[in-house]
Amino acid sequence: MAAEVVMPKLGMAMKEGTVSTWNKKVGDSVSKGDMIASINSEKIEMEIEAPQDGVILDILVQEDVGVPPGTIICYVGKPNEQLTEQNSSANELQAPKNEVAATISLEEPPANAVPSKKRKETVLISPIARKIAESENLNVETIKGTGPKGRITKADVEKVLAERASEASHPPAEIDKAIKKETLPVAGIRKVIAGRMHNSLLNSAQLTINMKADVTDLLSLQREIKDVIQQRHKVKISLTDFIARAVVLSLQEHKQMNSAYIDNEIHLYNHVHLGMAVALENGLVVPVMQHAEKMSLVELAAELKTRAADARQGQLSTDGMQGSTFTITNLGAYGVEYFTPVLNPPETGILGVGATEDVPMYKGDELQKRNLLPLSLTFDHRVLDGAPAANFLGTIKQYLEQPILLLL
């Protein structure tokens, strides 16, 4: 019997998933466990496996089309197997439930929308497509839907926006022909990052301040204890682990930085859910260490390494990337010193860590070689001002320069 392959639910907050790529086409043979498609939600990408041996009988959801979790995207069955009427109508049976939840009434259009000549009409549209259309002042009645039963999807709205932008800024034909260029589609996790970072800059008042910390003693302490910690706890302690511990302790002293600006209110948190940016081949994800304030240095180091490994192997769930109250991003491995991190909304702060630098410095009357660590703090000026932000960064510097405090 033909097996249904459905759009999985990648976390409780997921409302829509998109097929990024079909690795197989109708009629192709597959074995159980073969990667037949790539799908993505707003925060994660994953591969879909064939549930059984057979062939792809039918593909119901095309690439770049968003559908709710649970929607059948294809069938896998025996060669020449005919889909029954029950199979072929499965998505249609699901449609009323999904469509009712995703419809909007145009009886009372928004004040800034293009007025409709019809007295009343119901348009099938996904929630995220509706949100984008309303924010861009699009008349949804004029958008042709490509989803089930003509449902307007996120991709449909984005196509209209792209066409509108192209019409407004297309270069003269003779210039366009003279330029050789390559055009890459913005899709999957790249599109998610682009949207979130753009919205972050549009919807907050970001300011970055810089400071250097002398980590000479900290690096010496790391060398002294790393073998003991490796043998006793099976954890390789790194400079990043010490920095994370310093940030957690500092956030507990500066509650205003451990906060979020939501709906014209400042939410202060007693817990510290620490986000750590991890670079992937095709983008960036931020695993979250829940209740980092309850962890020791060794526990925090172990959790950081586990979450980072999950992220690089594509095993990080959507829930594992939500709820952070503050984020750290480290570009030291790339030789970067100071930079301007972009806030991870709705957080108030993000710390950028650069590469350590050996510099000659006087300690008293003695000239010594010291290791300086560049720190860049971006914060939301709507929540706090420069002085308290500088005090917070100064507290991090103090912990890093007195590393024995990080072990207590």
Q: What single-letter DSSP state applies at residue 263?
A: T
* Closest C-alpha to 393, from 175, 293, 243, 278: 243
Q: Which long-range contacts (CB under 8 A, 24 or more apart) does 152-159 make?
A: 152/123, 152/124, 152/125, 152/126, 153/65, 153/66, 153/67, 153/126, 153/129, 154/16, 154/18, 154/66, 154/126, 154/128, 154/129, 155/18, 155/64, 155/65, 155/66, 156/129, 157/129, 157/132, 157/133, 158/132
Rounded-to-integer distance, Cα 369 and Cα 355, Å: 16
Q: Is residue 190 part of a domain?
A: no
Question: Could you give the CA distance from residue 37 to residue 41 in angstroms, rounded to a whole number?
Answer: 14
| Closest among 142, 169, 170 to 156, alpha carbons compared | 142
Is 186 among the domain residues? no
Query: Which residues share a beta bridge with 18?
Result: 40, 66
Q: Following CA atoms 255, 259, 263, 265 in sequence, which dihedral angle do they give, to the nearest 10 degrees?
A: 0
End-of-domain residue from the set 38, 62, 77: 77
Does residue 48 fall inside a structural domain?
Answer: yes
Residue 162 belongs to some domain of the structure: no
Number of domains in the chain: 2
Question: Tell me, what's the pLDDT at 104?
Answer: 34
Cis peptide before 346, with omega less than 30 degrees from 0? yes
Domain boundary among 32, 52, 77: 77
For residue 106, being part of any structural domain is answered with no
In this prediction, residue 81 carries a pLDDT of 87
Instruction: Return the pLDDT at 360.
Output: 94
The domain containing residue 281 runs over which residues?
Answer: 205-407
Q: What is the value of pTM for the model shown?
A: 0.64
| All residues at 6 or more sequence positions from 203 whose CB lies less than 8 Å from its CB, including other chains | 345
**Could you give the CA distance from residue 267 to residue 262 in angstroms, rounded to a whole number?**
7
My answer on whether 242 and 378 are in the same domain is yes
Which CATH number characterizes residue 49's domain?
Answer: 2.40.50.100
CATH number of 213's domain: 3.30.559.10
| Sites in the chain below the pLDDT cut of 70 | 42-43, 85-122, 127, 148, 168-180
Instruction: Say which DSSP state 281 is in.
Output: T
φ, ψ of residue 169 to 5 degrees: the values are -130, 20
Q: Which residues are catalytic?
A: 381, 385
Rg (the chain; Cα; Å): 26
350 assigned to some structural domain = yes
Same domain flag for 210 and 65: no
- Residue by residue, what is the 3-state secondary structure of 308-344? HHHHHCCCCCCHHHCCCCEEEEECHHHCCCCCCCCCC
Secondary structure (DSSP) of 206-218: EEEEEEEEE-HHH
DSSP 155-219: HHHHHHHHHHHHHHHPPPHHHHHH---------HHHHHHHHHHHHHHHSS-EEEEEEEEE-HHHH
Q: Which domain-ending residue is among 77, 106, 139? A: 77
Residue 376 belongs to a domain: yes
Does residue 253 fall inside a structural domain?
yes
- Tell me whether strands 366-380 and 206-214 are parallel, antiparallel or unpaired: antiparallel
SS3 state at 393: helix
pLDDT at position 31 is 92
